A and B are shown apart, each in its own frame.
Chain A
Amino acid sequence: AQKVTQAQTEISVVEKEDVTLDCVYETRDTTYYLFWYKQPPSGELVFLIRRNSFDEQNEISGRYSWNFQKSTSSFNFTITASQVVDSAVYFCALSEEPGGSEKLVFGKGTKLTVNP
C-alpha cells in the first residue's frame, strides 16, 4: 500500500536559515510520482513540484531544492535562506497511477514557521 511519512510535525527557524523538510514514501509500484504542495495560512494548496520515479536528478528552483533518493525512498525539500513568507504547512504526496486518474496520497504535513 502507498504511504507517505513526514516525521517532522513542526519546524521553527529564524529568517535566512536553511531548512530541510523530510519525506519518506512507500510504494509497491516501480512507476510513481512524488509531489510537494504548500498550504499557506490562507488555506489553499499550492503545487510546488512533481517528480517521476525515473528521474532522480535533484532539482533547484530559486531558493527551493529537492533531493530524490530511491535507495532510501526519500524526497526531501530544502528551502535556502528562508523567509517569513515561507511560513506554511508543506505536504509531500505520492501517486501510483501515472497516465490517467492519479489519486494523491498525502503525508500529514510539516508546519514551518519562519521567524523574523
Chain B
Amino acid sequence: EPEVTQTPSHQVTQMGQEVILRCVPISNHLYFYWYRQILGQKVEFLVSFYNNEISEKSEIFDDQFSVERPDGSNFTLKIRSTKLEDSAMYFCASSGIGTSYEQYFGPGTRLTVT
C-alpha cells in the first residue's frame, strides 16, 4: 500500500539554525500539506501546496517557513532560523483528486530545538 514517508524521524538542532524536513508524498497525489503538533497539543495546519505554489497558509507559517517541491517526488519544509517554540512533531500529508480526498499522513519528524 502506498504511504507518505518523512525523513529524518528525529532532528535535533540549535536555536537559530536552519532545518529542512523532507517528505515523499504518495506518487499520484497532487495536494501536499504540512501540519505540526506541539507535544501534548492538537494538530495544527501550517500550509497546503498545489501546482507548485502555496494554496493556503496559517498564521503560524510566517517568513521563517518555506516549502518547496524540488523534484517530482520530494516535498520539503524549511525553517530558516529555528526558535525554541518550533520544537514539535511535523507531519506531512498528501491527498489526491477524484478519489476520496483523504489526507494520508506521514509518520512525522520530531524536531527538537535546543
Contact = CB atoms under 8 A, between A and B. Distances in A.
Contact-residue size bin, chain B (C-beta under 8 Å from the other chain): 20 to 34
A97 B35 CA distance: 17
A66 interface: no
Given A33-B101, A47-B102, A103 B42 contact: no
User: Is chain A's interface secondary structure helix, strand, loop, or mixed overall?
Assistant: loop
Interface residues of A, number: 24
Interface in A91-109: 91, 93, 95, 98-109
A106 B102 contact: no
B35 to A, nearest CB: 7
A104 B35 contact: yes
A81 interface: no
Contacts of A70: none
Contact of B45 (A45, A100, A104): A104
22 contacts: A44-B108, A45-B91, A45-B108, A47-B103, A50-B100, A91-B42, A91-B43, A95-B101, A98-B101, A99-B101, A101-B31, A101-B48, A101-B56, A102-B95, A103-B33, A103-B56, A104-B35, A104-B43, A106-B44, A107-B42, A108-B41, A108-B42
